[in-house]
Amino acid sequence: MFSVGFRSKLVGCINLQYKFVKHFSNERFSKLSKSRKGPSDDANFLKELEVLSKSRDWRNVLDLVKNQGLKCNRSSVQVFNNLTAQAFWDADTALGWEMLNKINREDFQPNCETFQAYLDYCSMDRATFVENLEKMLEFIGKNDVIVSKTVIKTLNHKIKKFGGSAVRTELSNIGICQNCEHQMPSLLQSLLEFETLKREFEQLILKPRIPSVQLGLFRQIVNKKQSYDYVIDSLNVTRNFPDSKGNIFKQGKLLTQIVEQLRMQNKKVLIVGKKHVETWPESAVNFIRKNTTVFLSNHKEAVDDVFMMYGALVSGPNAHFVTNDMLTDHMQELSDNGKKLFKNWQKQHQHFISYDYKTDSTHIYSPKKFHHNARKTEDSKQWHIPYTEKPLLYSPKGLIRRVPVEWACVKFKNRSQNELF
């Protein structure tokens, strides 16, 4: 579709932080390919690939990646990002999307350059600009990708050429855009969906991991109060911070602060953990026992999060749980439908904890009640796109937590007076 001249035209307008480096000989690729003896050579090999994937010979790198069966992981993700950007700058969109999907499948976020390269590609053709841009927005929305401010700035720059705009906006607690007053749809889960999830959780996650004796003991505790408002994975939320590891005083204090906040709101709280919670200072243990129900397992494996999720599920569709773990390993055990139901439940009920060293206090992050991924309005005239100041390597999978998220209200026509980017 595009002539050979496309690339040179495109390269002229790309962000020049992404420079092409000199041409590399075929011998160098051949040597590189043979030099890798095994995983122990990976660091140097990947370093070289990272440089070469920014060169004009990036397709040779692509061949190497394919021939060596290189997987996208933390060490190699930059190579995959570079190749994706190169593919878009070369107008090879099929390859670009294939690479983007590979990055996404491994739960990484494509970096700024890949999206900037794609936006460069989109802006080359007025007739297909909106259609192509929406393909990217649908991708980030569907996969809960949160792009950086740099990408939104580039998007605004491109969209302006065609009479649209990207305006910085704020969303209220219930998801109303302060710029256009559109309300983001609420997150909902029907009782039937909730019961389906609970049943699948019991069959595929709970029963294979927890012996029936332990489960019997847990059920006695859970049934005692019928239901809880909050279930907390005590070890996860108290060991997440650098100076709390191995510090039983700090751990006891963190959990006390969390419990204090929830009890002030009159919430019924269940704590799950292991026996060593009892080694915390007596004052903390007494306070926690007085104000919550505590279940301490002697299970050797790390199954506290399974108890936590089960405690929340048996407490009903209004119960919440508190952990900073994304629980992805457990989710993998579920069917495709179960995964979808789990994610939706998690988005609505998981609370995260942060600790502020300056004020020596903990903060509980409540989940948002509305969809907070990139979405098109029902009348298809606008998009609302979440973004972060700095790029994220991993996708927070729709769970806006300690990462401060801002919003852009994007229109394709009628440029707004409030444009801020």
Task: Tell me which residues touch Zn ion (CB under 5 A).
Answer: 177, 179-180, 182, 409
The burial of 284, by beta-carbon neighbours within 10 Å (0-12 exposed, 13-18 middle, 19 or more buried), is given as: buried
Q: Are residues 384 and 408 in contact, defined by beta-carbon separation less than 8 angstroms? A: yes
Closest approach of Cβ 377 to Zn ion, in Å?
8
Closest approach of Cβ 105 to Zn ion, in Å?
31
**Ordered strands of the 350-356 beta sheet:** 293-297, 269-274, 230-233, 320-322, 350-356, 361-365
Q: Which residues pair with 356 in a beta bridge?
A: 361
- Choice between 180 and 221, CB closer to Zn ion: 180
Residue linked to tokens 């939706």: 344
- Choice between 166 and 205, CB closer to Zn ion: 166
Q: Are residues 367 and 351 in contact, defined by beta-carbon separation less than 8 angstroms? A: yes
- Choice between 173 and 298, CB closer to Zn ion: 173
Closest approach of Cβ 176 to Zn ion, in Å?
9
Instruction: Give the residue ranges of DSSP H helices in 265-383.
Output: 282-291, 304-314, 328-331, 336-349
- Choice between 376 and 397, CB closer to Zn ion: 376
Closest approach of Cβ 148 to Zn ion, in Å?
20
Closest approach of Cβ 177 to Zn ion, in Å?
3
* Three-state secondary-structure class, residue 243: helix
- Choice between 181 and 282, CB closer to Zn ion: 181
Closest approach of Cβ 141 to Zn ion, in Å?
15
- Choice between 173 and 332, CB closer to Zn ion: 173
* Alpha carbon distances (Å) from 36 to 58, 83, 169: 18, 20, 50
141: how many CB neighbours lie within 10 A of its CB?
20
